[in-house]
Amino acid sequence: MRHPYILCACFAGVIAVAGCAEKNANDTVERAFEDVDVVDATNLTDVMLTVADPNEAVTYFERAAAKDPTRIDHARGLASSLIRAKRVTEGVIAWEKVTKMKDATSDDSVELADALIRAGDWAKAEKVLNAVPPTHETFKRYRLAALVADSKQQWKKADSFYETAVGLTTTPASVMNNWGYSKLTRGEYKDAERLFSDAIRSDPNLFTAKNNLVLARAAQRDYTLPVIKMTQSERAQLLHTMALSAVKRGDVETGKGLLREAIDTHPQHFEAAVRSLRALENQSG
């Protein structure tokens, strides 16, 4: 008589095991989809931080941060995107919020200092950088420290920070350009010329350094273009820069000649150079 009960118990056990197996299978599937979502979200975050339209990235991270305010990566993404979108005031507020979060790091403080410099608040940026532990030795920390020292005309400190920053990166062109510009403003034209040349060797496409190099040479009344890689359009623009520098130093006839050369060199109509030349000819006439 007990066989039917045993059979029922066995059958119930089979059902229970089958139910557990089905539940485990569902859990596995759900976890797999969660993993995919995490990967997709990570990829989307990377896209938003690099190639996406900055204002679209702001909207994305605003939603993400509102959904989970404890996620520091979303708060960082929002702060970075606001800076990329040139919404600097909002960016400063966002980075200040990040630095107060539980998992904030020294890098976050450095990013706040960067935002403050962009906002023109040099004094507060200096305080933030000074509060970063000295053991946190990164390229960006020293580059910003150099800029702050420059703003206070503390040239020895600036040179020391620039030199350290150059040694902490494999792509030093931009900081060499900043350092060169610092030297240019001090009137140390030879050193500036050297640093701009170094920056161009590091990044042959950095037009700002090319333009600054021409300014450094023109400041020494050297009105010949440096032997560097340049497009025809860049050559015309550099000639234009050199011409204006020559005029500023009183070498008006030299400036006119350089403007004519710039106009002839440019592959298209060079309106800015034409206007400059016309203005000079009207003055002399």
3-state secondary structure string, the chain?
A: CCHHHHHHHHHHHHHHHHHHHHHHHHHHHHHHHHHHHHHHHHHHHHHHHHCCCHHHHHHHHHHHHHHCCCCHHHHHHHHHHHHHCCCHHHHHHHHHHHHCCCCCCHHHHHHHHHHHHHCCCHHHHHHHHHHCCCCCCCHHHHHHHHHHHHHCCCHHHHHHHHHHHHHCCCCCHHHHHHHHHHHHHHCCHHHHHHHHHHHHHHCCCCHHHHHHHHHHHHCCCCCCCCCCCCCHHHHHHHHHHHHHHHHHCCCHHHHHHHHHHHHHHCCCCCHHHHHHHHHHHHHHC
The answer to whether residue 229 is domain-embedded is no
The answer to whether residue 83 is domain-embedded is yes
| Confidence (pTM) | 0.78
The answer to whether residue 95 is domain-embedded is yes
The answer to whether residue 277 is domain-embedded is no
User: For the chain, what is the domain count?
Assistant: 1
The answer to whether residue 283 is domain-embedded is no
For residue 34, what pLDDT band results from cuts at 50, 70 and 90? very low
The answer to whether residue 191 is domain-embedded is no
Range of the domain at 98: 43-104
The answer to whether residue 71 is domain-embedded is yes
Query: What is the per-residue pLDDT across 151-182, written as a single tens digit (0 to 9) for each?
Result: 999 999 999 999 999 999 999 999 999 999 99
The answer to whether residue 59 is domain-embedded is yes
Q: Is the pLDDT of residue 218 over 90?
A: yes
Query: What is the per-residue pLDDT across 101-119, written as a single tens digit (0 to 9) for each?
Result: 999 999 999 999 999 999 9
